[in-house]
């Protein structure tokens, strides 16, 4: 079976529409649920004879030409884990039906298996059974992350970029020189995984100081209610108000003998020690900035130390902590640069938050060809779609705020081979 | 010149008494000022003929028997850096007079040079000149830390211990197998120094998440006013109320495949994300505990990664963050054990907070024997002093609170060779 992404006609995605979903994977983390689903929009084709597919058919392993090609659209959705009931309502509104090998031949239409990863695949298994009548088909969390990352790194052009001096620079990855690498997935907590090949990996480190710490501490300190609100605050803040800098200790001087500039942070939140101020006396913007810098810098440092430990040339950062946020990426990049004395570079993934869900998606096996995972087939870019290759950060628009206070957003994500429509619930 | 510690008659130390101070070193950090001074109590002896000194005289380098032995007492004092005026008042109340080689022969008595280290030696140089008429004789910060640590590790018995399962276990250090080691000094920020010998070292890493972060964030989150108050709070707290554990994500299960127990912290402060609680709804005790655990664990992890990087067998933790606090040491020990898979052990120093000040003290050179640093000479333990060998944690008593809100405390610190009297200003 091949699942084919379609080109970039952008449609308004309606969470209450009754799209037919043929493949669905879900990654239930501590803070966020990430969903990847493939919707055929009620169309189901076998042995599509469109000329553009001839190449893919020749490339099918073991020469099986009876593979099934589905045309449709790949969607990326997220919910807060605390709002899992909304997530289940959303899925209930869809037709979750298997439309694979059997579809044209026998018209047998089964309910799909939901591929599920993350700790919530265990925690909420009973809830999915009760509410959706679905048994979650569990895929191991680290395995999913690695499969998702490997897929993106090997398949998608313009997936990887560095962020230096406020500039994104896309990096072309040579597939023959991809392994080994360090994958740093920053969710609520942080996992660091040494990846040596397809399915070959080891979780070598991690830290509990991650996205959950940023939002958890941020909510307590600033009364912000959402991650994006906190990020927006940090954008306007100045960490020097509350961080103790080298210059604060050294009377404005650098500590040049050991290479610390006067502006280097000596102690995160250290100025709050001696000042006669209470929480209310600090601007939430400044607190958010200090917090973001502390956490980003710490992750960058631990990641670099682990890359060094295993002699890994490349560090890829993923996970929803990053959110394509300039200051976050800048701090991580600077941390890796600082600690490696310029020898290592942080690299980021455009589909950062969906590694696990994508990896679980790759775990689908067609009933008739068990050994063959789905392949998202590159389509010749249509002329009109080239104009759709846009940066996410400029293209996120909130549609409305629903009664739960959750925002339905539409976010168009493009790559050189397809357009993803993403429905975000922030 | 040798400076000799005296045995353990414990006296009430009075900050307004006019002790004669012959040697004084000061380490001015971002949060704390640490002072080590030697007071002769107006006694000054040359070529002391007491039998117990014969051994030391034989050991004097280059056979110079005209070295000068001062009997007196070594004091350890600390102030908050924000209360530097109190510190200067305290020093003003003392007679700061050089009583060295010249003392008996010519009765020339000069003002002592104050050995000073830490960033504040630069920042507050003018203040000392103005208020005390003293030029600070600066000693480089890392050099001081290393000299202090080397002195303690080589000279003082029962200086080093591990803390495992709530138990201190003293470690005998073989002087011939001391180097290299990793020194982790946890002040407001954290410095990690690879030490290869006397004066041979390199600051290889550090983190801004240190004691200043603990107290800074702690003050904002709990309204605690002092480090010790915050530590005491943490002692009574439960971090599981606010930290997101692996079991919280995995529905109470371990994530056994990668060796994470259900009780492992997945995300520090992560539970605050989803709970509909504000800062006031959490107990300050629980917040303090989460904060302490986050920071201690993070330091332990980064320290271990650096030890691994340089193949260092031993990691010694010093600095005033530790304060002999059971839970802090336990968390650092567990972090090092966890990340090293049992291969490395955290070790702690009894004189943890005074490494820099002690190192600057070692920088004294007698006028007549420039090449010879002071030596604190071991004295045969008197029978009565053996009963004074007590653990600091059980022996700290606050005497009174003065008008500045600072507490004058007396803390008796013993080792096998002398009793230190320490006046603490908490």
Residue A195: closest CA among A142, A232, A119: A142
Residues of chain B with C-beta less than 8 angstroms from the C-beta of A243:
208
pLDDT (average), residues A255-274: 91
Handedness of CA B223, B229, B231, B234 (dihedral sign): negative
User: What pLDDT was estimated at residue B415?
Assistant: 29
**B275-302 pLDDT, tens digit each:** 789 999 999 999 999 999 999 999 999 9
Q: What is the pTM of this model?
A: 0.81
**A153-210 pLDDT, tens digit each:** 998 888 999 999 889 999 999 989 999 999 999 999 999 999 999 999 999 999 999 9
A273, B308: Cβ pair inside 8 Å? no
Within an 8 Å CB–CB cutoff, is residue B86 touching chain A? no
Nearest to B272 among A118, A203, A216 (CB): A216
ipTM of the complex: 0.81
> What is the Cα–Cα distance from A308 to B301, expressed in whole angstroms?
15
Within an 8 Å CB–CB cutoff, is residue B117 touching chain A? no
Q: A422: distance to nearest CA of chain B, Å?
A: 23
Per-residue confidence at A375, pLDDT binned at 50, 70, 90? low
B216, A80: Cβ pair inside 8 Å? no
A215, B273: Cβ pair inside 8 Å? yes
Tell me, what DSSP letter sits at residue B363?
T
A188, B266: Cβ pair inside 8 Å? yes
Residue A290: closest CA among A243, A225, A224, A231: A243
User: What pLDDT was estimated at residue A56?
Assistant: 34
**B13-25 pLDDT, tens digit each:** 444 445 678 889 9
Residue written as token pair 């520090």? B268
User: What pLDDT was estimated at residue A181?
Assistant: 96
Lowest mean pLDDT among A298-312, A357-371, B394-408: B394-408
More confident residue, A133 or B64: A133
Q: A326: distance to nearest CA of chain B, Å?
A: 21
Within an 8 Å CB–CB cutoff, is residue A127 touching chain B? no
Q: How many residues does chain B have?
A: 426
A159 token code pair: 């997936």
pLDDT (average), residues A384-390: 25
More confident residue, B396 or B63: B63
User: What pLDDT was estimated at residue B220?
Assistant: 97
pLDDT (average), residues B310-325: 93
- Residue-averaged pLDDT of chain B: 76
B105, B66 contact by CB (below 8 A) = no
User: What pLDDT was estimated at residue A400?
Assistant: 28
User: What pLDDT was estimated at residue A39?
Assistant: 80
Residues of chain B with C-beta less than 8 angstroms from the C-beta of A143:
none
A188, B279: Cβ pair inside 8 Å? no
User: What pLDDT was estimated at residue B293?
Assistant: 95
User: What pLDDT was estimated at residue B364?
Assistant: 84
Pairing between strand A396-401 and A407-414? antiparallel
pLDDT (average), residues A269-298: 94
Residue B389: closest CA among B13, B8, B71: B8
Within an 8 Å CB–CB cutoff, is residue A55 touching chain B? no
- Residue B367 reports pLDDT greater than 70: no
Within an 8 Å CB–CB cutoff, is residue A219 touching chain B? yes
| Nearest chain B residue to A203, by CA | B258
User: What pLDDT was estimated at residue B407?
Assistant: 27
User: What pLDDT was estimated at residue B45?
Assistant: 38
- Residue A32 reports pLDDT greater than 50: yes
Q: A220: distance to nearest CA of chain B, Å?
A: 5
User: What pLDDT was estimated at residue A95?
Assistant: 79
Within an 8 Å CB–CB cutoff, is residue B261 touching chain A? no
Residues 152-191 of A with CB under 8 A from B: 188-189
> Where is mean pLDDT largest: A7-16, A347-356, B370-379?
A347-356
**B185-218 pLDDT, tens digit each:** 999 999 999 999 999 999 999 999 999 999 999 9
- Residue A288: enclosing H or E segment and its boundaries? helix A284-309
Task: Count CB pairs under 8 A between chains A and B.
Answer: 230
**B91-140 pLDDT, tens digit each:** 988 877 765 444 444 455 567 789 999 999 999 999 999 999 889 999 99
> What is the Cα–Cα distance from A46 to A59, expressed in whole angstroms?
17
- Residue-averaged pLDDT of chain A: 76
Lowest mean pLDDT among A316-325, A357-366, A382-391, B184-193: A382-391
Per-residue confidence at B68, pLDDT binned at 50, 70, 90? low
B31, A273: Cβ pair inside 8 Å? yes
User: What pLDDT was estimated at residue B95?
Assistant: 78
Q: A95: distance to nearest CA of chain B, Å?
A: 28
Residues of chain A with C-beta less than 8 angstroms from the C-beta of B305:
205, 302, 305-306, 309
Per-residue confidence at A322, pLDDT binned at 50, 70, 90? very high
- Residue B175 reports pLDDT greater than 60: yes
pLDDT (average), residues B168-182: 93
- Residue A60 reports pLDDT greater than 60: no
pLDDT above 90 as % of chain B: 55
pLDDT (average), residues B141-156: 94
Residues of chain A with C-beta less than 8 angstroms from the C-beta of B267:
30-31, 188-189, 208, 210-213, 216
Per-residue confidence at A74, pLDDT binned at 50, 70, 90? confident
User: What pLDDT was estimated at residue A14?
Assistant: 44
Cα B289 off chain centre by: 22
B30, A215: Cβ pair inside 8 Å? no
> What is the Cα–Cα distance from A8 to A420, expressed in whole angstroms?
8
Tell me, what DSSP letter sits at residue A406?
P
Cα A276 off chain centre by: 41
Nearest to B216 among A125, A216, A271 (CB): A271
Per-residue confidence at B416, pLDDT binned at 50, 70, 90? very low
């Amino acid at each position: 079976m091949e699942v084919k992404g379609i080109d970039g006609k952008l449609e308004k995605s309606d969470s209450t529409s009754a799209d037919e979903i043929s493949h669905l994977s879900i990654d239930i983390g501590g803070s966020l649920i990430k969903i990847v689903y493939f919707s055929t929009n009620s169309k189901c084709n076998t042995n599509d004879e469109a000329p553009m597919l001839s190449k893919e058919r020749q490339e099918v392993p073991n020469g099986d030409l009876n593979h099934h090609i589905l045309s449709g659209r790949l969607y990326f959705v997220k919910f807060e884990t605390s709002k899992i009931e909304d997530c289940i309502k959303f899925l209930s509104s869809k037709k979750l039906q298997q439309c694979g090998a059997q579809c044209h031949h026998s018209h047998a239409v089964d309910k799909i298996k939901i591929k599920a990863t993350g700790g919530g695949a265990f925690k909420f298994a009973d809830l999915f059974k009760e509410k959706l009548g679905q048994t979650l088909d569990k895929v191991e969390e680290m395995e999913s992350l690695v499969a998702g990352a490997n897929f993106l790194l090997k398949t998608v052009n313009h997936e990887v970029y560095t962020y230096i001096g406020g500039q994104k620079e896309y990096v072309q990855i040579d597939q023959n020189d991809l392994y080994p690498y360090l994958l740093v997935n920053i969710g609520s907590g942080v996992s660091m995984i040494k990846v040596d090949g397809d399915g070959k990996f080891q979780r070598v480190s991690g830290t509990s100081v991650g996205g959950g710490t940023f939002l958890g501490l941020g909510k307590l300190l600033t009364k912000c209610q959402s991650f994006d609100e906190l990020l927006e605050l940090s954008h306007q803040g100045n960490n020097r108000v509350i961080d103790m800098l080298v210059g604060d200790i050294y009377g404005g001087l650098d500590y040049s003998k050991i290479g610390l500039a006067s502006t280097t942070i000596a102690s995160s939140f250290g100025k709050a020690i001696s000042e006669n101020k209470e929480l209310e006396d600090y601007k939430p913007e400044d607190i958010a900035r200090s917090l973001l810098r502390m956490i980003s810098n710490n992750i960058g440092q631990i990641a670099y130390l682990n890359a060094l430990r295993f002699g890994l040339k490349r560090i890829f950062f993923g996970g929803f902590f990053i959110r394509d946020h300039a200051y976050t990426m800048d701090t991580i990049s600077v941390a890796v640069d600082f600690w490696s004395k310029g020898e290592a570079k942080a690299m980021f993934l455009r589909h950062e938050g969906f590694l696990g869900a994508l990896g679980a998606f790759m775990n689908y096996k067609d009933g008739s060809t068990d050994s063959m995972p789905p392949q998202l087939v590159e389509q010749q870019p249509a002329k009109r779609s080239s104009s759709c290759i846009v940066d996410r950060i400029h293209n996120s628009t909130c549609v409305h705020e629903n009664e739960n206070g959750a925002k339905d957003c539409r976010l168009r994500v493009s790559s050189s081979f397809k357009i993803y429509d993403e429905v975000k619930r922030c």
